Structure 1
Amino acid sequence: MTDEHTYKGSCFCGAVQLTVTGEPAAMGYCHCESCRHWSAGPVNAFTLWKPEAVQITQGADNVGTYNKSPNSYRKWCETCGGHVLTEHPGMGLTDVYAAVIPDFPFQPGVHVHYQETVLRIRDGLPKLKDVPEELGGSGESIAE
């Protein structure tokens, strides 16, 4: 018997459904220009998972992919256009957007790419210039 939690998520229309199992590697907010443009918002809430923890359970044949760079393979539902996840092969992680998994207890721990922010958030969480060192960034903190 396992005590790992499984959370369900879907695109906007529900044609693409997924599960995430266990605990994410990290949770937080991304302020980079790419995430802002992709999400059409000033900030994007992320949950990063090992790829094997993420399963598309319905509609895999309905998932579109776009990669502006080899760092991020963004995926969406081809029916409704709802964003589902982003694969980050270089980091060995998959970002399932926090809004896609509504019952998941999102507890952000960091802001990444805060130097690019267009919306200052004063919440006491660490603000990083890029990403943590263990994910290939500088890990450099910047002022809130």
Structure 2
Amino acid sequence: MSHAYRGGCFCGAVQVEVEGKPEAMGYCHCESCRHWSAGPVNAFTLWKPDAVRITRGQEELESYQKTSASRRRWCRRCGGHVLTEHPGMGLVDVYAALLPDLTFEPALHVHYQESVLRIPDGLPKMKDVPAELGGSGETLEE
């Protein structure tokens, strides 16, 4: 039996549950994630869509799709960010901060060439994303 992790938006109106193990965890440095999160970097956990369930507040979710690469979802009551769907990759990013019981074990940095906050932690620094997710697979110097 796999483990389920639960979290929610800022006010708690929207609740999300993920089950099993994420496909990947890491940090995104792209301008879109930085702008969306209002921070210098975004900590992500990527899951297969069937591992993610909205358990409460589906009707409170709003969405915005700036590009075909992602659809960002948030709570209309509090504005709290919940997840980003990445249809081209077949994955859903449930923000690491929303899953307090999940041990966050980042494995890489993506879109590091756009970084405004260098993080010398020994993890691979990808120019964009790994080749298996449609990127170049190119790594950069720390």
TM-score between both structures, scaled by the size of structure 1: 0.98
Q: Which of 101, 107, 118 is the aligned partner of 2:105?
A: 107
Runs of 4+ aligned structure 1 residues displaced above 2 Å come to: none
Q: Which structure 1 segments of 5+ residues have no match?
A: none
Residue from 91, 96, 120 that aligns with 1:93: 91
Distance apart, 1:7 and its partner CA? 0.3
Q: Corresponding residue for 1:20?
A: 18
- Count of aligned positions: 142
Give the whole-Å Cα distance in 2 for the aligned partners of 1:139 and 1:47: 19
Query: What is the aligned partner in structure 2 of residue 43 from structure 1?
Result: 41
User: Counterpart in 1 of 2:116?
Assistant: 118
RMSD: 0.4
TM-score, normalised to structure 2, is 0.99
What's the CA shift for 1:91? 0.3
Post-superposition Cα deviations, 1:73-114, rounded to whole Å, max 9, x if no partner, equal: 000000000000000000000000000111111100000000
**Equivalent of residue 53 in structure 1, options 51, 54, 65:** 51
Unaligned runs of 5+ in 2: none
The whole-number CA distance in structure 2 between the counterparts of 1:61 and 1:28 is: 29
Cα distance in 1 for partners of 2:137, 2:28 equals 14
* Alignment partner, residue 142 of structure 1: 140
